[in-house]
Amino acid sequence: MNGLEEITTALADLNEDGTLALVRKAVKDKAPPESILQACQQGMEEIGRRFEACDYFVSDLIMSGEIFKQIAAILDPLLAAGSKGQLGKVVIGTVHGDIHDIGKDIVVNMLKSSGFEVIDLGVDVPATSFVAALKESGATVLGMSGLLTLAFDSMKATVNAIAAAGLREKVKIMVGGGPVDGNVCKAVGADDWGNDAQKAVRLAKQWLVPAA
């Protein structure tokens, strides 16, 4: 097992001290911060699977989120330093009625490390705040996250609000989160969806980076 696999395992096992020590070692050993972040994402995905299997509980999800925030604090300066320039702006947030931020935070960090400027609105974000952020920033890509099925109505309401503001033709919208799939994407009126951070990065590049 290499160091990155050890990070995945330690995080999945909720070994806080072990995970942070392995992350710091990987940084010291000059491992690419994007690779470290991907290993952490795989650990978070395993935590999600264990939660779905009732092996983990809500308290475990909260703990995993706290561990990830500490990891992000270590990696953020490296991700910013390694950015190859701003490729474009992305507004992102967890929609109104949902306060889950783990998946969103992973996507935010992956987008930043790939060279995008990210306007992170946080959690429980109403449609009006998404619209205001798009207008203020001039961003043409929006990412909406939701882990609860009740988030679907908020996603649809946000898409409708963007259309009412006259921005829909200018803004590409991606949605993501545990229960999100192609059918949900179509139902809420988004352009595409993803179930991992890499897909979010691919979509942002597809929409914002001109083909060479």
Split into its structural domains, the chain has a count of 2
State both tokens at 121: 């609105």
Domain edge (last residue) among 82, 101, 127: 82
What region does 170 belong to: left with phi over 0, alpha with psi -120 to 50, or beta?
A: alpha
Q: How confident is the model at residue 154 (pLDDT cuts 50, 70, 90)?
A: very high
Domain edge (last residue) among 59, 82, 105: 82
CATH number at residue 95: 3.40.50.280
pLDDT at 156 over 70: yes
Q: What is the pLDDT of residue 119?
A: 95
Instruction: Say yes or no: 124 and 63 in one domain.
Output: no
Q: How far apart are the C-alpha atoms of 204 and 90, rounded to whole Å?
A: 8
Q: How confident is the model at residue 212 (pLDDT cuts 50, 70, 90)?
A: very low
Instruction: Say yes or no: 76 and 97 in one domain.
Output: no
Range of the domain at 13: 3-82
Q: What is the pLDDT of residue 11?
A: 94
Beta pairing class for 117-120 and 192-194: unpaired
Higher-confidence position of 208 and 100: 208
At 166-208, the pLDDT tens digits run 999 999 999 998 889 999 999 999 999 998 787 898 999 999 9
Q: How confident is the model at residue 147 (pLDDT cuts 50, 70, 90)?
A: confident
Once rounded to an integer, what is the mean pLDDT over residues 109-116?
A: 80
Q: How far apart are the C-alpha atoms of 112 and 34, rounded to whole Å?
A: 10
At 44-95, the pLDDT tens digits run 878 878 887 889 887 888 888 889 889 988 988 887 666 555 789 999 999 9
Q: What is the pLDDT of residue 1?
A: 65
- DSSP element (H, E) containing 126: none
Instruction: Say yes or no: 126 and 176 in one domain.
Output: yes
Instruction: Say yes or no: 144 and 182 in one domain.
Output: yes
Q: What is the pLDDT of residue 83?
A: 59
Sheet with 117-120: strands ordered across: 117-120, 89-94, 141-145, 172-176, 192-194
pLDDT at 211 over 80: no
For the question of whether the overall pTM of this predicted structure is more than 0.85, the answer is no
Q: How confident is the model at residue 157 (pLDDT cuts 50, 70, 90)?
A: very high
Domain edge (last residue) among 49, 82, 115: 82
At 39-51, the pLDDT tens digits run 988 888 788 788 8
Q: How confident is the model at residue 15 (pLDDT cuts 50, 70, 90)?
A: very high
- DSSP element (H, E) containing 91: strand 89-94
Q: What is the pLDDT of residue 24?
A: 96
Q: How far apart are the C-alpha atoms of 181 and 185, rounded to whole Å?
A: 6
The percent of residues in the chain predicted with pLDDT above 90, rounded, is: 57
Instruction: Say yes or no: 61 and 100 in one domain.
Output: no
SS3 174: strand
What region does 146 belong to: left with phi over 0, alpha with psi -120 to 50, or beta?
A: beta
Residue position matching structure tokens 């009006």 = 128
Instruction: Say yes or no: 126 and 188 in one domain.
Output: yes
CATH number at residue 73: 1.10.1240.10
